[in-house]
Amino acid sequence: MSNAKTTTILVVDDSRVSRLLSRQFILHNHPDWIIEEAVTGEEAVTKLSSISPDLILLDVNMPGMGGLAAVVKLREISPEIPICLMTANVQDATREKAHNLGVQFAEKPITQARIDHVIAQLENA
Amino acid sequence: MFQLDELQHDALVELFNQGVGQAAAAMSQIVHEEVTMSVPLITFQSRAEVAQELGGPEARRICAVTQTYQGAFNTEAMLMFPEEKSLEIVRLMVGQSVTMEELSEMEQEAMSEIGNIILNSCMSTLANIAGKELHGSLPIYRIGTSDQILGSSDNQWSGMVLTLKIDFNIEKHEINGYVAFLLDTTALHDLQAYLQQYLSGLMP
């Protein structure tokens, strides 16, 4: 992760409360970071034409393009951006799909510890 | 009449026990309090009887989040709270940083997300134990009497349903709710096959 510019995180979730919690927990330890939000996978794809986030936190179960389909589209546009799926669907099958797509996987509910863990993995990459 | 044998019945309770155990852990992380859950109570009733039992004699209003799951077996999963506790639960989730007005605005979305997390947590455990995938719908949030909620479900189930009812309790805040899983007759036979497969895997 570059220190030359302010870190930007794109939070993609149809749930406003999940976006709010992600924002709160990220800013708690990184108050100067920029949080961008998208409500759907489609909106996230569109946003990538105007922003270049350092990390994308992506919900799986969303109306329209779900998180797994969104990963494929987002990768086509910006293959280098790390993506972490955030989901309550902790089935082995979903973990395997995330693994096969080469993205991180974090369980919901969103907690400070989980957000910190995802960011630590990003910083250590 | 559909019947589970004793071993299948035990397996069903045990599997859902593990599922709701995970759900309780998830709920506890959401509300930052200890959450206790009862052993699943299995009943075989009509939807009307289920509604009557869930609503109690005073037919109290409840808020419910429902999701349908398809795969190894099909089920309608429901998370229900007394209507008046809904805002308190959302407040426990988001903390004190949002205003009361914002809290009211996001109540429906927040409850849907809570339901999504709790129900998925439980169903994912069931899927993982049996090595089967279950596909869940998006959560739907409803407020009304249990009659209205069960009657308004978008499904074709009119016959008897198997219900697994689990009470849970956030003691410090005196919040009681319940999770129920409804399975129709066709789904029951799939469930029986799922249980049999699970039990076969346990046998030497």
Give the pLDDT confidence of B81-102 residue by residue, as tens digits. Answer: 888 888 899 998 988 888 999 8
Q: Under a CB-based contact definition with an 8 Å cutoff, are residues A113 and A21 in contact?
A: no
3-state secondary structure of A66: coil
Read off the tokens for B140.
């739907």
**Is residue A41 a part of any domain in this protein?**
yes
**Is residue A15 a part of any domain in this protein?**
yes
**Is residue A67 a part of any domain in this protein?**
yes
Distance from CA of B105 to the nearest CA of A (A): 10
| pLDDT tens profile A42-70 | 999 999 999 999 999 999 989 999 999 99
pLDDT of residue B66: 94
Q: What is the mean pLDDT of residues B173-185?
A: 84
Residue B25 vs residue A120, higher pLDDT:
A120
A31, A59, A89, B22 from A107: Cα distances, Å: 23, 10, 8, 12
3-state secondary structure of A6: coil
pLDDT of residue B39: 81
pLDDT at residue A80 greater than cutoff 60? yes
**B91 to chain A: closest CA residue:** A17
Contact B121 A21 (CB under 8 A): no
Q: Under a CB-based contact definition with an 8 Å cutoff, are residues B149 and B142 in contact?
A: yes
pLDDT-based confidence at residue B18 (cuts at 50, 70, 90): confident
When CB atoms are compared, the residue of A15, A92, A93 closest to B113 is: A15
Q: Under a CB-based contact definition with an 8 Å cutoff, are residues B39 and B13 in contact?
A: yes
User: Domain containing A35: what range?
Assistant: 8-123
Q: What span, in angstroms and rounded, lies between the C-alpha atoms of B104 and B97?
A: 13
pLDDT of residue B158: 61
**Is residue A103 a part of any domain in this protein?**
yes
| pLDDT tens profile B127-152 | 888 788 899 999 999 999 888 888 74
End-to-end CA gap in chain A: 8
pLDDT of residue B196: 87
Q: What span, in angstroms and rounded, lies between the C-alpha atoms of B114 and A17?
A: 10
**Is residue A75 a part of any domain in this protein?**
yes
Chain B interface mutation, best of A39, A90, A111, highest count of B Cβ atoms under 10 Å: A90
> B48: part of which helix (H) or strand (E)?
helix B47-55
Distance from CA of A62 to the nearest CA of B (A): 7
Q: Kindly give the interhelix angle for B86-94 and A16-29, rounded to the nearest 10 degrees.
A: 30
Distance from CA of B139 to the nearest CA of A (A): 9
**Is residue A2 a part of any domain in this protein?**
no
CATH class of this structure's domain B6-202:
alpha beta
- A100 CB within 8 Å of a chain B CB: no
Closest of B129, B119, B108, B137 to residue B181, by C-alpha: B119
Instruction: Give contacts of B18 with chain A, Cβ < 8 Å.
Output: none
pLDDT at residue A15 greater than cutoff 80? yes
**Is residue A1 a part of any domain in this protein?**
no
